[in-house]
Amino acid sequence: MTQPSPCHKVVARNFTHLAQPELLLILERRNHPEVRRWMRHTEPIAVADHLRFCASLATKPEVLMLLVTYDAQPACILTYHATDTSWQHLSDSGVYGFAPEPCSTSILSRLIRLKLIALRGISSHQIKVKNTNEMALFANQYYHGFRMVAQDDEYTTLYLTYPESAAYYEAQAQELMRTNHLSLELEL
């Protein structure tokens, strides 16, 4: 008789549900040079500006920022921007991990993206990636199915459609959780 596989707990919490110590932990990672170099604005963020921005998220239903933990350890930050409050189309998203990563940010971001597609009925997703971020360009095209639609001197725009039913993406999320021995709790 085989024993059940251990299950790792993944929790994705909306920034609007976080206490100040957690928000300051996020700021520390946001300001790390390896994170800042891939951002549109590369200068470090002041504490007051960060806390003001996080508080403003409560008035922006088209923006979702999540602190993701893996077995209670900070794993990554995920950001999603919808074109409007219907959440049919994502206009941008981003991911950056905590070092060391307790679990692959690619697995975690894919899982949570699949759950959001199923929950919110998202039908398309566009992202802009710095041309110098070769890892993100490769991963989004090779592993996540995005296709390049535009490129300028600084950014590549990638696009993906989600034509299947919500049940299809929910099933994909469940399979990803099963094969990686994960449970997921979303606090949107």
User: How do residues 53-104 score in pLDDT, each as one tens digit?
Assistant: 999 999 999 999 999 999 999 999 999 999 999 999 999 998 989 989 999 9
For position 34, what pLDDT does the model report? 87
pTM over cut 0.85: yes
Answer whether residue 3 shows pLDDT above 70: no
For position 79, what pLDDT does the model report? 95
Name the amino acid, one letter, at 24: L
**Inter-residue contact 78 to 68 (CB < 8 Å):** yes
- Of 140, 75, 134, the C-alpha closest to 104 is 75
Six-digit token string for 72: 């209670």
Q: Collapsing DSSP states into helix, strand and coil, what is residue 58? A: helix
For position 6, what pLDDT does the model report? 72
Q: Residue with structure tokens 């251990």?
A: 6
Q: Is 143 exposed, middle or buried (0-12, 13-18, 19+ CB in 10 A)?
A: exposed
Q: Collapsing DSSP states into helix, strand and coil, what is residue 152? A: coil
Q: How far is the C-alpha of 65 from the C-alpha of 13, rounded, in Å?
A: 8
**Inter-residue contact 129 to 156 (CB < 8 Å):** yes
Q: How far is the C-alpha of 147 from the C-alpha of 127, rounded, in Å?
A: 10
171 vs 32, 71, 74, 137, 168, CA distance in Å? 36, 23, 26, 26, 5
Please compute the mean of the pLDDT values over residues 3-27 and round it to a whole number.
Answer: 91
